[in-house]
A and B are shown apart, each in its own frame.
Chain A
Amino acid sequence: MIASFNELLAAGEGRDLAQVLLDADAEESGFTQQQILDALAKRREVMWECVRRGKLNAGLSMGKLVGGEALTMAAAFDAGKTFLDPLTVKTMIYSLAVMDENSRMGVIVAAPTAGAGGVVPGMLLALEEERNVAPEKTIRGLVVAGGVGSLVSLKANISGAAGGCQNEVGVATAMGAAAIAYMKGGTTRECVQAGALALKNVLGLVCDPVGGLVEVPCVKRNSFYAVHGLTAAQLALAGVQSIIPMDEIIDAMVRIGRALPRGLKETAEGGLAMTPTGCAIAERIKGEANDRRQAAADERERVAAERKAERGEGKD
């Protein structure tokens, strides 16, 4: 079993990174390599379906705070009104599309979580489309992304509640960066460097969702960190190196997560959630939830009364 990035570097020296991870995963899990690849092929399909649905849908989220971000960006792109290069713009659109779908309770792939689930598909699918990457290569990219996420999760809980957004979107951007480096022909060392550069530069990011919903700032944040991951992959492929090794960055992330105050770890009791606007939104959402509960309780009572009346009539 490979238990650290240091071990991965040793095992993957001069070898195809996805193959190294597949070998290790097949041995550990008891699944065949083909079963693992099939499962990831399915996830790639779900990701594409999610992107296609998401960029055409402006339906509002459960908390009504987000919903049409992908559509807005896609419209600007289609009208020739974006100034960044198409790969970057599509990365943003696709990551937003997944998150919009997620906020509408659509079917998505947790990568590694739902709240950070736009980053990896945004990056990988945009690259696949813009650079004509074979789907099989994208699937192997998902092997790399998953492998990076699994190795991080051996040391860190992957949730905002455990250590803030660095543990979610930070891990996602590291997974995506390593996968992109792999899909662009990077060596094992370059892929791990890409992950390290991405993760190192997200450390300290807090989780302070408005109203406790996976909406603000989560949806737009995914597009930022998808592009951040591209930056990391580009730096690594050019030969730029992280001075701090990946394993030590993860240790630092865990320590920072512990040091973060509770209010900034998914409790909606700090940061953006406690701004005047954030508090007003939370109040509205709470009120609406109470109204819904009341309506449901009234309905139950009405149905119960009706049934009782029916039974009463039956006796007569």
Chain B
Amino acid sequence: MGPVMVGPSSSHTAGTARLGRVAHEILGEDPVMLRFFLHPPLERTFRGHGSDFALVGGALGLDVHDHRIPEAIRIAEQLGVDVDFAEEDLGDVHPNTVRIVAKGAAREVEIVGSSIGGAAIEVFSINGFSARYKGDSPTLLLFYRDRIGMIHQVAEAIAREGINIASLSCSRKERGKDAFMQVDVDSPLSSQGLAKILALDEMDDARYLDRIP
């Protein structure tokens, strides 16, 4: 069964709200600027289905069933968040795909993801790194400098927390430069556990996303 949600469309309202929420969770703070770049088929239908306020609502941190979702654009205005929408051809992707740029006081996050139906989502790019996030397990997103032994250190730190790794994948922009690791785990990670991973040498940023309920 799908989630409890505000209508009218699970792809356009709930799925897009979840994509916005992923951007919010990675950002980890209140956004001051939000930009939504909609793949052409989504751009044509998104206002009718309420994707505009769903995306904004999610990016403000609202749940898919939050009754304030329809008011999200007004709420963003009241909070002084700079919001804008534009069309952008995102290539050979699912029709309902969006690129989200969210800026806070400390971080800036960019994700590209699709709302694939029944409120399910797939995020396949995070800050320019290829990713595969569906929200079906607790997930660690690690940004670090590409060095020998990083996977070993991360795996060891997670094991010390008594947590099993379900899957792990890395990508990097250039050898020895910025790299990204996505680690899906079987049980939740505490904030202390996350802090330990963030404290590792060469670790620039570590974000933890809970399973989407």
Interface on A for B, CB 8 Å cutoff? 30, 40, 42-43, 46, 61-63, 101-115, 117, 120, 142, 145-146, 149, 153, 157-162, 167-168, 211-215, 265-268, 285, 289, 296, 300
Contact = CB atoms under 8 A, between A and B. Distances in A.
Given A211-B48, A266-B45, 9 more contacts: A62-B50, A105-B6, A112-B10, A113-B119, A157-B117, A158-B118, A162-B94, A212-B45, A213-B8
Contacts of A112: 1-2, 10, 117-118
Contacts of B11: 113, 159-161, 266
A113 B48 contact: no
B193 interface: no
Interface in B165-189: 186-187
Contact of A161 (B6, B67, B117): B117
A161 to B, nearest CB: 5
A19 B164 CA distance: 27
B8 A114 contact: yes
Interface of B: 1-11, 13-14, 41, 44-45, 47-50, 65, 67, 69-70, 73, 77, 94-96, 115-120, 186-187
B47 A110 contact: no
A267 B44 contact: yes
Contacts of B8: 61-62, 102-103, 105, 114-115, 213-215
B75 to A, nearest CB: 13
B45 A105 contact: no
B117 A158 contact: yes
A111 B9 CA distance: 11
A205 to B, nearest CB: 15
A167 B117 contact: yes
B6 A107 contact: yes
